[in-house]
Structure 1
């Protein structure tokens, strides 16, 4: 029997690449989009879901279970970016990103767990970020949301293990997707003390995304995890230096590591 997979944020970027790859491998794949009716000729099924709206989450999960009779894998991929000096970023915008990247992911997990517990099997893969392992200048809130999801994953995987359910997370580095277009950018204020450094970092962030890896690497990694009997707690997918930066944080004195980050971002 083909496994049934639900991918949040499946209309573009990493989610679309993962869904297309798994479909070709014989999985039954459902992706989600806030407005699937506007998306034509998609390579797999889309259902309406907004991770900040619990009613749409429950309706989407119910639709998948009604159609397929089960739900084997959740890829919690939906997310959004945010940039800006913390001092100048509206707190309401910060809350929106936490609601999407953290609480939205938690609400989707809550929605699928009863079915997985009933099946006595299931796999939840939370897509976090290598940025979640460190505070990055002008990306601190984004890093915080992804770091929080990493910690939540560590906790919930222990809570549900006795039900036959596995939970893990995958932290991607920079991939060539359209994430920058959906990111909230705090405006570059003309007389801001952060103006020059913030603008330089915006340019650098966009360059990193544009020159990022092919999202197919994430698809291949998630495929391998699905076919792993006992997944690890953490997976990282990205180029060597991005993954090595996490190792450096563990072994270097904190001020030395901070200096490396500041040099990298020309602070």
Structure 2
């Protein structure tokens, strides 16, 4: 490819905190999107990498899709690569509904602290009793994920949907139902991809890779919180996406 034929690669990523750096654990350079950007640069195929990074802690599919729709008014509806990495905020089982949680957060400190301490200490018992809520219920999650893909599938050359990673035994013990919820929402993601019926949409199944190496879970998931990713998992995601990118490039340049 000649220099005149080069173009910019337009990439957008919509994710919660799992795609972000983490102080003391994941450096900026160890993020999978940073690894990917450096790889694309090394291919010397693009003039520049235009990266719209919408990774933000605590965001659900609802807010991420809303950000995507807002971004269309600024960046347009078309791009080269779209990465969707969401689900843990939506599916993690909680001992009280979001509305009650927000009320507790607004209480005076002398009331808020005991309430939070009670929920933390009794979370396992509460959830084992069958009392658990999710920030975004399965039906709503499916509707938003499907809408995201329907809106984007024909407008991006490649879309990468990253599965929700498994948790560790300590987190499952503290929050019973966590693993089952992750499995349920990953199934929803896969079904949304199947229903989209578009070859541009790729499922990056890090969940399966980590489950197959579950005895080494601490190598993939940070032990202290049970859901944030280690540098090894960031590298795993990047490597899986690079394999698809290489396949795409070989089809363009046989």
**TM-score, structure 1 as length reference:** 0.50
- How far apart in 2 are the matches of 1:147 and 1:214? 17
Q: Is this contact kept in 1: 2:204–2:237, CA < 8 A?
A: no
Give the match for residue 94 of structure 1. 132
Residue of structure 2 aligned with 1:64, choices 45, 64, 71 = 71
Larger RCO, structures 1/2 (Cα 8 Å, 6+ apart): 2
Alignment of 1:18 with 2:62, yes or no, is no
Give the match for residue 203 of structure 2. 167
**TM-score, structure 2 as length reference:** 0.52
Q: 1:214 to 1:110 in 2, by over 3 A?
A: closer
- Superposed counterparts of 1:34-53, under 5 Å: 50-51=59-60
Q: 1:29 to 1:58 in 2, by over 3 A?
A: closer
Give the match for residue 265 of structure 1. none
- How far apart in 1 are the matches of 2:195 and 2:59? 26
Deviations 1:113-167 (A, max 9, x none): 13333326432323322349xx954443211221112222332332223463233
Q: Is this contact kept in 1: 2:127–2:175, CA < 8 A?
A: no
Q: Is this contact kept in 1: 2:60–2:86, CA < 8 A?
A: no
Q: 5+ unaligned residues in a row in structure 2: which ranges? A: 1-7, 42-48, 94-119, 211-216, 247-254
Alignment of 1:218 with 2:233, yes or no, is yes
Residue of structure 2 aligned with 1:227, choices 225, 230, 242 = 242
Give the match for residue 244 of structure 1. none
Deviations 1:49-71 (A, max 9, x none): 8316x3x3343002333343335
Alignment of 1:6 with 2:1, yes or no, is no
Give the match for residue 30 of structure 1. 53
User: Larger C-alpha radius of gyration, 1 or 2?
Assistant: 2
- Superposed counterparts of 1:78-117, under 5 Å: 79-80=88-89, 86-89=124-127, 94-96=132-134, 99=136, 106=142, 109-117=145-153
Give the match for residue 193 of structure 2. 157
Q: 1:176 to 1:124 in 2, by over 3 A?
A: closer
Alpha-carbon RMSD:
4.4
Q: Is this contact kept in 2: 1:124–1:167, CA < 8 A?
A: yes
Q: 5+ unaligned residues in a row in structure 1: which ranges? A: 35-48, 180-204, 232-267
Q: Is this contact kept in 1: 2:13–2:83, CA < 8 A?
A: yes
